[in-house]
Chain A
Amino acid sequence: MATDVMPAHSEPARPEDNYLTASRGFMSWAVTLDHKRIGVMYLIGTMTAMFLGGLLALVLRAEHLSGNPNTLPFVTHDVYNQLFTLHGAIMVFLFIIPSIPAALGNFILPVMLGAKDVAFPRMNLCSFYLWIIGAIFFVCALLTTGLDTGWTFYTPYSTNTSQTNVVLATFGAFILGFSSIFTGLNFIVTIHTMRPPGMTWFRMPLFLWSLYATAIIQVLATPVLGITLLLLAAERMFGLGIFDPKLGGDPVLYQHFFWFYSHPAVYIMILPAMGIISELISTFSRKPIFGYRFIAFSSMAIALLGFLVWGHHMFTSGQSEMVTIIFSVLTFSVSIPSAIKVFNWLATMYKGSIVLATPMCYALSFLFLFTIGGLTGLFLGALATDIHLHDTYFVVAHFHYVMMGGTLVAFIGGLFYWWPKMTGRMYNEFWGQISSLIVFVAFNLTFFPQFVMGSRGMPRRYYNYLPEFQVYHVLSTIGAFLLGFGLLLAAIVLIVSLFKGKKAPANPWGAATLEWQCTSPPPLANFEKTPTVGNPYDMNSVVWDPDTESFIRRGDVPTVKDEATPAHS
């Protein structure tokens, strides 16, 4: 890491080169140190993981079309356990946690900051390969015995009972943890030391603030997961005894350790999404963001408070009443900064000239879905209701509203938003909007019924159900397939744009952040000369220029010539 030294190479890149065309061949990608290429590789990787996890989810939902044991002949109760475990583990560890920071963040952070790269490019590449290795471990577990512990690996089931390859999966998660730590560490250092002159902390776009807050959680929380998983593996392999009551250990200690990481981890998932939304709402309302400092500081507040509430996952585990009450109170406090953000976004839109481009459609979906998810979190954080709702579909619906309705939707919004920058191509706006509409409707169809059946007592992770729940399950299954279709449509729109899309101008949306000052796609070194740093949300600083079909800086010689946009090949 600290050894990121390499021979200086100062040959000037040819102006028509962008990061995609600067060099060719497999190796030029496999050993690249360019944050943009690493971001793109991460993007492909995480999307593959999501596709896999999504397929598993569809099988799960299909099984629930009826309450009979064998709706799908190959899904036995054992297979069912494996399906939901792998779905959860893949989605959490391989997709959601790395998706926004490592894929979009890697690409955008240095450009937005005005830096040439992240501070430790080799560590960045290493992080990607760790991700690959972790993924291989997961796939091995999947192909050998599967995994049936639930994504939470609760002891003593995972150590004493499960017949599957728990150790393999734990090591996979352990390695993925390091991948995540490397990304976080890199981002913190980059933001601290690589800001160009003029880029003060309070001129940083909010996406960077949110990545910074995320990185803090990644660095502080993930090592605890690492040690927990090591202990778990040692427990299972050698019978260490720390989590085994028979040997004097305590299985609830495992839960404490696990949630000490995993609650902050839910903020690893949502904070970057909130950052994206701040960018999207401001850009497409053509208004400066309302309450910049509040949003920035609320990210930090979430990062810190997030460490204090893990006990709300264990209200029924027999922890002392006093502790339970304290955790409940703290849980309520953590929702305050989230609410602050929502109000600020709404205030930003107020009297703005809202442009319903695809990213904005996703951002609006986010607002709606995340709000529901966050509010139902309060139901769960309240002691009396949680005793009833714990481990029911209500919890499932809650975390899907925040993780999928929040993070995934924001991720797709961000992907549409930065797609022209990343690929140099514009996608088809109409079909993009349609995809967002389908995703929004289908999402609610899938998960809203789960709130209802959960509150009526349908337990989560059950293979069968009573007839009275059938209608909700069927609705949910229909929604799930529709949702799958919506996401597929979004993917198709993006992929088609690679071949058919118009060439993207430098700044198609009229945003004022730095990444729009360089060409689309950016040149290898991001900026030929250090960019001018201004207020990131001053929408008046750019004007539409019909000649280049792009926004350009007002009264300014364009820093980057748009004609120079290279042909994408």
Chain B
Amino acid sequence: MATAVEPHESHEDGHDDWHHQPFSAHHFENAEQQFDSGKLGMWLFLVTEILFFSGLFCAYAVYRSTHPEVFIYASQFLDKYLGGMNTIVLIFSSLTMAWAVRCAQLGQRNGLVTLLGVTLFCAALFLGVKTFEYTEKAHKRLLWSGAFVKATDIGKKSQVFEVGKPLPKAEFEDRVMASLETIKKFWWFACVIPLVLIGIGYGSGSRPWRTTGFAGLISIIGILAGIWISIEIHHAQHGGDHAVGHGDSHAVAEHEGEHAEDGSGEHGHDETAEEKEAAEIDAEALAIQEKTGIEAAEAPDSILGEMNDAIPAISTPVDTTPDPNAPRNANLFFSIYYFMTGLHAFHIICGMIAITWLMVRSVENHFRPDYFGPVDFVGLYWHIVDLIWIYLFPLLYLIGH
């Protein structure tokens, strides 16, 4: 493996005392071997990551080629400005990460810690934007294919979760709302945890705890900032008038719900059931609207309160007329969207944990010009996560624009 890292080479001759250094593993002959092994291991790991995602890209390619109309139609519901912003945020975070690696190589501790912190903040910002996007879509009922199908049609008895179960529409919105309410009520918990960690850190004089606490705080502020920024962007685009864009988006879900039932062959009586349901929903929606109106007004937190406002689903009457332009199975796009971006978001979270761990270690001054492998390796990982997003963004957001 070519390592191309100069600081390292200067150390090579000193490998006699290598075994007495703090982070040497006994089964390696010298620091270079340890570093090379780690690096090759990391590259192989990245290969497995790429192959892991490749299955999804493959599924994307298959369905994009068999159902191009679905992709063109459904991708208009994704907000390319939010996606674009996230892309810039991630690219910027890759820059700070690469810079952090450089700092580690040069032994600049303060620079390293700061840059890791910035990277972490960017990651959190990304997650915040994603949180808004997911929530907004859930409100608009832009969900994966099976979300509106009867439980009997998809997984059976031994289902672990009941998410696939069809919720009567009103109940569905109630649930989304309820979960949002829960977040609204308890979001400060999330802030308390890092604060407690910081407290423990100061109390016991333990730097690792303190650093972890600060990293947690950065993450939470980042997520909230992400949500807030997306709300601003959303407002800027829709100018407060959501109903227009919202009407047709609603139609996808409705339309799909019906199609799915058509396909299942046992309908007929479903039609009337649906109508009845629709009437119920209108009533329910009104009730909820009132409820949320109040709650939103007295929401303790302005950001999450605003998030409710920005998300129109509840506050506008449900439009049950199917969009005549919606292609069949349009929700397949969202199946792919949620799975790919969800898995990617999971990788971001893993990356955040790893960066936190790096921050702890760099505050402890573990990294030196002759030992900086972990920073380098996490950096590589971070770049691959970034790279995957760079493919996801155009493939999902920029179709047909």
At the interface, yes or no: B328 with Cβ under 8 Å from chain A? Answer: yes
Contacts of A246 in B (CB 8 A): 149, 153, 260, 263-264
* Per-residue A-contact encoding for B25-61, CB less than 8 Å = 1, 0 else: 1111000011011111110110111011111101100
* Cβ contacts under 8 Å, B137 to chain A: none
Tell me the number of A-to-B contacts counted with CB atoms below 8 Å: 205
Binds A, one of B110-118, B159-167, B230-238: B159-167
**Listed stretches B83-91, B313-321, B330-338; interface member:** B330-338
Residue among B33, B149, B157 making CB contact with A193, cutoff 8 Å: B33
Q: Is B224 an interface residue (CB 8 A)?
A: no
Which of A1, A145, A226 has the largest number of chain B CB atoms within 10 A? A1
A314–B328 Cα distance when bound, in Å, is 28
A contact residues around B158 at 8 Å (CB): 145, 163-167
A6 at the interface (CB under 8 A from B): yes
Contact present for B328 and A238 (CB under 8 Å): no
**Stretch of B139-147, B189-197, B270-278 lying at the A interface:** B139-147
- Over the window 118-159 of chain B, the binary record of Cβ atoms lying under 8 Å from chain A Cβ atoms (1 yes, 0 no) is 000000000000000000000000001111010001111111
CA distance A192 to B38 in the complex (A): 11
Query: Which of B14-22, B172-180, B245-253 lies at the interface with chain A?
Result: B14-22
Instruction: Give the distance in Å from the alpha carbon of A164 to the alpha carbon of B47 in the complex.
Output: 34
A120 to chain B: closest residue by CB: B41
A224 near B161 with CB under 8 A, answer no
Instruction: Point out the residue from B20, B28, B52, B263 that lies within 8 Å of A227, measured CB to CB.
Output: B52
Given A189-B40, A238-B161, A228 and B55 touching (CB < 8 A)? yes
Closest partner residue, chain A, to B32 (CB atom): A193
Option from B41, B146, B157, B377 in Cβ contact (under 8 Å) with A240: B146
> Which of B41, B260, B332 gathers the greatest number of chain A CB atoms within 10 Å?
B41
Chain B residues near A121: list those with CB within 8 A.
25, 27
Indicate if the CB atoms of B164 and A238 lie closer than 8 Å.
Answer: yes
Query: What 0/1 readout, one digit per residue, does chain A (187-224) give for beta carbons within 8 Å of chain B?
Result: 01110111000000000000000000000000111111
Q: Does B339 sit at the interface, judged by CB under 8 A? A: yes
B149 close to A239 (CB less than 8 A): yes
Given contacts A115-B27, A237-B161, contact A247 B48 (CB under 8 A): no
Chain B residues near A227 (CB, 8 Å)?
Answer: 52-56
B26 touches A237 (CB 8 A): no
> Mask for A231-261, Cβ within 8 A of B = 1, else 0?
1001111111110101111100100010000
Question: Chain A: which residue is nearest B159 at the CB level?
Answer: A237
- Check if B145 sits within 8 Å of A249, measured CB to CB: yes
Q: Are B47 and A220 in contact (CB under 8 A)?
A: yes
The complex places the Cα of A189 from the Cα of B51 at a distance, in Å, of: 18
Would B26 and A10 count as touching, CB distance under 8 A?
yes
Whether A185 sits at the interface, judged by CB under 8 Å, is yes
In contact, B47 and A219 (Cβ under 8 angstroms): yes
Is A247 touching B331 in the complex (CB atoms < 8 A)? yes
- Per the 8 Å Cβ criterion, residues 59-87 of B in contact with A are 59, 62-63, 66-67, 70
Name which residue of chain A comes closest to B146, CB basis. A239
Complex contacts, A247 vs chain B, CB 8 Å: 145-146, 149, 260, 263, 329, 331-332, 335
Name, among A161, A239, A241, the residue most crowded by chain B CB atoms within 10 Å (CB to CB).
Answer: A239
Chain B interface residue count: which class? 35 or more
**Residue pair A222, B37 in contact (C-beta under 8 Å):** no
Q: Number of A residues whose C-beta is below 8 Å from B?
A: 65
Do B59 and A242 touch across chains, with their CB atoms under 8 A apart? yes
| Distance A223 CA – B28 CA, assembled complex (angstroms) | 29
User: Could you tell me if A1 and B42 are in contact, using CB atoms closer than 8 angstroms?
Assistant: yes
SS of B interface (majority):
helix
Flag whether A529 is at the interface (Cβ < 8 A). no
A223 touches B374 (CB 8 A): no
Contact check, B155 vs A237: say whether CB atoms are below 8 A apart.
Answer: yes
| B108 within 8 A of partner (CB) | no
A194 to B34, CA, bound (A): 9
Chain A residue nearest to B261 (CB atoms) is A246
**Whose C-beta in chain B lies nearest to the C-beta of A161?**
B156
Asked if B23 CB lies within 8 Å of chain A CBs, one says: yes
Chain A residues in 8 Å Cβ range of B42: 1-2
The answer to whether B48 touches A239 (Cβ under 8 A) is no
**A268 close to B (CB within 8 Å):** no
Q: Are A185 and B41 in contact (CB under 8 A)?
A: yes
Q: Which of A117, A181, A194, A249 contacts B332 (CB 8 A)?
A: A249
Cα separation A268 to B115 with both chains bound (whole Å): 43
CB <8 Å contact, A238 and B163: yes
The answer, yes or no, to whether A143 is at the interface (CB within 8 Å) is no
Residue of A nearest to B148 (CB): A239
Report if A159 contacts B (CB, 8 A). yes
Select A116's contact among B26, B54, B154, beta carbons within 8 Å.
B26
The distance in angstroms between the C-alpha atoms of A3 and B371, with both chains bound, is: 11
Kindly state the separation between the CA atoms of A194 and B40 in the bound complex, as whole angstroms: 12
Cβ B38 vs Cβ A2 within 8 A:
yes
A129-169 at interface with B (beta carbon < 8 Å): 145, 159-167
Do B24 and A239 touch (CB < 8 A)? no
Give the most central of B19, B21, B48: most A CB within 10 Å: B48
Q: Does residue B373 face the partner (Cβ distance < 8 Å to A)?
A: yes
Q: Is the CB of B62 within 8 A of A117?
A: no
| Docked-complex contact B40 and A181, CB < 8 angstroms | no
Tell me, yes or no, whether A547 is within 8 Å of chain B by CB.
Answer: no
Q: Is A384 an interface residue (CB 8 A)?
A: no
Q: Are B147 and A239 in contact (CB under 8 A)?
A: yes
21 contacts between A and B (CB under 8 A): A4-B38, A5-B23, A8-B21, A115-B27, A120-B41, A121-B27, A160-B154, A164-B158, A189-B37, A192-B1, A220-B48, A223-B48, A238-B144, A238-B164, A239-B145, A239-B147, A241-B144, A241-B331, A242-B63, A246-B153, A248-B63
Residues of B at the A interface (CB closer than 8 Å) are 1, 19-28, 33-34, 36-42, 44-45, 47-49, 51-56, 58-59, 62-63, 66-67, 70, 144-147, 149, 153-161, 163-164, 260, 263-264, 328-329, 331-332, 335-336, 339, 343, 373-374, 377
Known: A116-B27, A240-B144, A241-B145. 7 other contacts (CB 8 A): A5-B23, A5-B34, A8-B24, A145-B158, A236-B155, A238-B155, A241-B335
In the A-B complex, the 10 residue pairs with the smallest Cβ-Cβ separation, listed nearest first, are A239-B146, A241-B145, A248-B329, A239-B154, A227-B55, A247-B145, A5-B23, A2-B38, A117-B27, A223-B51
